[in-house]
């Protein structure tokens, strides 16, 4: 076998490897599930934690965990058993699962917020058609989460001339319901902190009473 044959064989091998495990590289560092509720205090998992595919959680009998899948808008309430996080749903052994589909932005991915200054508008801010929101929330009180090491973010409305709002973050999270910051239906907003920012839209059917974290969640 000459050098060309060897090189060709190597290329075929790696191409076959990639097709045999589709999406593995893309999802290796991309969380797919959001911890929405935990019935008992734990040290390995807490509310608002983001879990990657393959993450394993073992629940004691009677212990309950609620997971929301960003990619499928699937909300799972799991009681007992061994949970393995997947891409769109969990694998549960020895436990009980209750499933509910909720309104969410299934295109949202964690850690995909732009660097500050990267969002460009090619029309005046009051032109909603030109505002390309990267996220959609279904609550008038979103929950904002960033991986930036900051305790303050800035919230700006883009489709109307309103004063920017300083948002206090605790461990990178701000619950606008707790902060009593109600947003407007059909409103377009930019949330930014340090070198992270994203633009999101509040859906026309957004509710004040929405409880599902998936429906309220904005990562930036």
pLDDT tens per residue, range 108-147? 655 444 444 333 333 445 555 456 788 899 999 999 999 8
Cα separation values, 150 from 50, 193, 194, Å: 18, 7, 7
In angstroms, how far apart are the furthest CA atoms of the chain? Answer: 71
Assigned token pair, 162: 């309103």
Q: Tens of pLDDT along 18-61?
A: 334 443 443 455 899 999 999 988 989 999 999 999 999 999 99
Return the pLDDT at 179: 96
Distance between CA atoms of 166 and 192, rounded to whole angstroms? 10
- Second CATH level (architecture) for the domain 114-219: Sandwich (2.60)
Distance between CA atoms of 61 and 81, rounded to whole angstroms? 7
Residue of 111, 110, 103 lying closest to 212 (CA atoms): 103
Whole-prediction pTM = 0.75
Return the pLDDT at 129: 44
Average pLDDT over residues 135-163: 94
């Amino acid at each position: 076998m000459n050098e060309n044959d060897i090189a060709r064989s190597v290329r075929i091998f790696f191409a076959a490897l990639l097709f045999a495990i589709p999406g593995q590289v893309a999802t290796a560092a991309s969380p797919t599930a959001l911890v929405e509720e935990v019935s008992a205090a734990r040290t390995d998992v807490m509310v608002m934690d983001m879990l990657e595919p393959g993450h394993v959680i073992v629940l004691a009998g009677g212990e309950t965990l609620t997971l929301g899948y960003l990619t499928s808008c699937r909300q799972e309430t799991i009681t007992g058993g061994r949970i393995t996080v997947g891409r769109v749903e969990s694998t549960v052994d020895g436990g009980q699962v209750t499933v509910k589909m909720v309104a969410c932005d299934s295109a949202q991915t964690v850690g995909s917020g732009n660097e500050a200054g990267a969002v460009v508008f090619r029309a005046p801010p009051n032109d909603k058609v030109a505002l390309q929101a990267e996220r959609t929330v279904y609550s008038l009180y979103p929950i904002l989460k960033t991986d930036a090491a900051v305790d303050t973010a800035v919230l700006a409305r883009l489709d109307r001339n309103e004063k920017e709002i300083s948002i206090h973050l605790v461990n990178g999270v701000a619950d606008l319901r707790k902060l009593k910051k109600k947003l407007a239906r059909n409103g377009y907003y930019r949330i930014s902190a340090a070198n992270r920012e994203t633009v999101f839209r509040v859906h026309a059917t957004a509710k004040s009473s929405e409880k599902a974290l998936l429906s309220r969640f904005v990562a930036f």
